[in-house]
Structure 1
């Protein structure tokens, strides 16, 4: 994955980067890979045309060998019952298999084979993808460039992102992927199950309702700045889905912006008013350092205790790459840390 969460941006300064299976359509536990009505694919839907940032892609027939790029397309395909033959290595927050626990659990439930994993740190791995002989490449939430798109399109039809790179809402990815796979009939149930997990978390943690947040990153080796995600990023979007609100200061600073994150001088830390401030950290010691810093420590939520020091990369990845598989994980693992931060801050804000 070559768009590591912003913590890895802060961790760039921390020494981290900001940065031939035959699975196909899954059938019964035997691992059947043929696509068709029996496996849930609507063959009558084809050909389908999908519009994205680089034009229109026509998928002429039901795909049976799907390769994915970006952070989450493999999850969308799998959630719809299609196991990719190839997917990007999950190097930030991933497990020993360079995968995620939510992907592995779903794959096991389908009885499907593991995908070939490739590294996209230096861009789309064209040769490795070509070796898999895919008949569809999904990249709805990726950073595929126009040049890469042109080259990938010579291998197989490519469904790229509809707007900004890395900025596709998970609901839009689900819509695009289900159409490309001929699985639009399954999409509503997947959508509902995902939304239900968000509603359940909102009900379990009512203290999050209407609270303001800033999702950012600080660096223990560079206290001169604070990075933060804009409302166009999927992390803030997911918290908004939960019922929270972007802090007014973030709304103001990012008005008209097309970027997924921005930076503010640490000298302006006191202006970052919010009920909760979330930052990626490598350890709890980092947060202690931030709170003691004469500039960073002026972030209001760091004073009230309304902060989340996100040290668990896997749980954080559930927020960074929201999908029908990762969102329930994030609701169970990450949201409680936000609720706990709000609970800590509550005594300092009796009117909340």
Structure 2
């Protein structure tokens, strides 16, 4: 009876949260003083204690059944050589992957051995039951927007829940990778994959010198009456673009931001968005929601053709908006040539 009571309590907690699958804009965090220290044991030694917004997490013994609660967390596990016991999916993820739930960069890492899917849109009770039935010995939730304090409290009664220090997808991917690797008892593996990813990014900047110092603005979406615009380059898509040598426009950093750090821009201010190149996240690559405004069409960057559209149904916005060393390598190969072509048009 005790397990059923816990499942009901977890179900109620999950019902009160939302699974957010869009690309997070990269705003600055104002509550970074909540970050705690992570105690990293030597390779393979336990117990290990890692920090988290809702409390420190202690892993008593080496985990063998890791369950991620977001695709980004699945990517981090795969990058560390750990196959998740299930892959979390939602409607957006399934639509963008033709129903497989597996991103291209994940498919390469998994080979032909795809774990079962955990439908995060299935309903609170179903999700709670499936989590318990999977019998994880560790849950990884650095990028799951639905993890709130009450949900964490219920899950952590049964499983160690490795999670974010500030908010989901709120820390650089390197920090999240280090935290997860520490909890798994393989801290040295984190440094290995981080170093390789940074080598790959450095190689791309050398291959595409036109990116160095070029300014950009990034439109993340239309929220109905206003635009969401990248306002900081400290995480997600902004961190990716800056790692290639691009510089976010000074104007973007002056915009007011919403609760998730996305810059808020009215349509009347579109004319302020000019830069050497413009990056636009769109549902399918179609920029109709912008081209209907004459102010957009008159932007010098638009007139030069210095616009890069990242279609959600290709997976690219997810690869760069919720980055891992795994997704960044794939994204760099896909996006860097397009960015370099756009940057060259500003010369």
TM-score, L = length of structure 1: 0.79
Change (3 A) 1:166 1:298: farther
Could you say which residue in structure 2 is the equivalent of 1:328?
329
Which moved further from structure 2: 166-175 or 295-304? 295-304
Change (3 A) 1:150 1:345: same
Mapped contact 1:95–1:101 kept (Cα < 8 A):
no
Could you say which residue in structure 2 is the equivalent of 1:2?
19
Mapped contact 1:276–1:342 kept (Cα < 8 A):
yes
Mapped contact 1:233–1:261 kept (Cα < 8 A):
no
Could you say which residue in structure 1 is the equivalent of 2:290?
290
Report the CA distance between 1:93 and its aligned residue: 3.3
Report how many residues are paired: 305
Cα distance between partner residues in 2 of 1:289 and 1:79: 36
Cα distance between partner residues in 1 of 2:302 and 2:279: 10
SS at match of 2:114: coil
Cα distance between partner residues in 1 of 2:317 and 2:118: 22
Could you say which residue in structure 2 is the equivalent of 1:269?
270
The correspondence for 2:171, drawn from 164, 168, 172, is 168
Calculate the aligned-residue CA RMSD, in Å: 2.6
Cα distance between partner residues in 2 of 1:82 and 1:71: 14
Aligned: 1:61 with 2:61: yes
Q: What is the CA deviation profile of residues 90-145 of structure 1, one whole-angstrom value per residue up to 9, with x for unaligned ones?
A: 3353354211121121122xx8x432211224787322111101000001122111
Cα distance between partner residues in 1 of 2:327 and 2:237: 12
Cα distance between partner residues in 1 of 2:284 and 2:81: 37
| Unpaired runs of at least 5, structure 1 | 8-40, 347-352
Change (3 A) 1:142 1:342: same
SS at match of 2:287: helix
Report the CA distance between 1:172 and its aligned residue: 0.7
Mapped contact 2:169–2:322 kept (Cα < 8 A):
no
Mapped contact 1:305–1:345 kept (Cα < 8 A):
no
SS at match of 1:52: coil
Could you say which residue in structure 2 is the equivalent of 1:133?
135
Report the CA distance between 1:345 and its aligned residue: 3.4
Aligned: 1:94 with 2:97: yes
Q: What is the CA deviation profile of residues 185-239 of structure 1, one whole-angstrom value per residue up to 9, with x for unaligned ones?
A: 22221111111111111111111111122221355x96x4222123254111111
Cα distance between partner residues in 2 of 1:341 and 1:301: 9
Aligned: 1:281 with 2:290: no
Within 5 Å, give how 1:169-318 maps onto structure 2: 169-219=172-222, 224-231=225-232, 232-254=234-256, 259-283=260-284, 286-287=286-287, 290-291=290-291, 293-311=293-311, 313-318=314-319
Q: What is the CA deviation profile of residues 57-80 of structure 1, one whole-angstrom value per residue up to 9, with x for unaligned ones?
A: 000000011100123111111211
Q: What is the CA deviation profile of residues 144-192 of structure 1, one whole-angstrom value per residue up to 9, with x for unaligned ones?
A: 1111111211231001111122222110111101101111122221111
Could you say which residue in structure 2 is the equivalent of 1:339?
340
Mapped contact 2:256–2:264 kept (Cα < 8 A):
no
SS at match of 2:188: coil
Mapped contact 1:93–1:316 kept (Cα < 8 A):
no
Mapped contact 1:2–1:123 kept (Cα < 8 A):
no
Mapped contact 1:167–1:260 kept (Cα < 8 A):
no
SS at match of 1:162: coil
| Unpaired runs of at least 5, structure 2 | 1-17, 25-41
SS at match of 1:55: coil
The correspondence for 2:110, drawn from 104, 107, 111, is 107
Could you say which residue in structure 1 is the equivalent of 2:150?
147
Cα distance between partner residues in 2 of 1:114 and 1:245: 38
Cα distance between partner residues in 1 of 2:330 and 2:159: 32
